[in-house]
Amino acid sequence: MAKVMVIGKIVRLGNSAAVRLTKKVMSAAGVVAGQSVEIFAEEDRILISPAPKLDSYDLAQLIAGITNENCHGEMSFGPPIGREISD
């Protein structure tokens, strides 16, 4: 993959902000418009990488990954504040 560097600009997009990626940058990174990406912010950098491709979840595989170490007990989010409990 070739390294490509361009100067871009952060633009306002509704209540959010966006960065336009040139065709050359997208091609070098192997991404296409509409593709999901992971965005990491660290100190003075923003890193954008293609998101892992997840076609579907395999319930049996997800359940097999549950262990005593990664399974937590009940969690309390406080008392009901709306209509969470119906009569």
Domains (range + CATH), the chain: 18-64 (2.10.260.10)
Total-model pTM? 0.54
Distances from the Cα of 31 to the Cα of 35, 49, 78, angstroms: 7, 9, 43
Rounded CA-CA distance 21/38 in Å is 15
pLDDT at 63: 92
pLDDT tens-digit map of 71-87: 888 888 888 888 777 66
Provide the 10 A C-beta neighbour count for residue 47.
10
Rounded CA-CA distance 80/47 in Å is 39
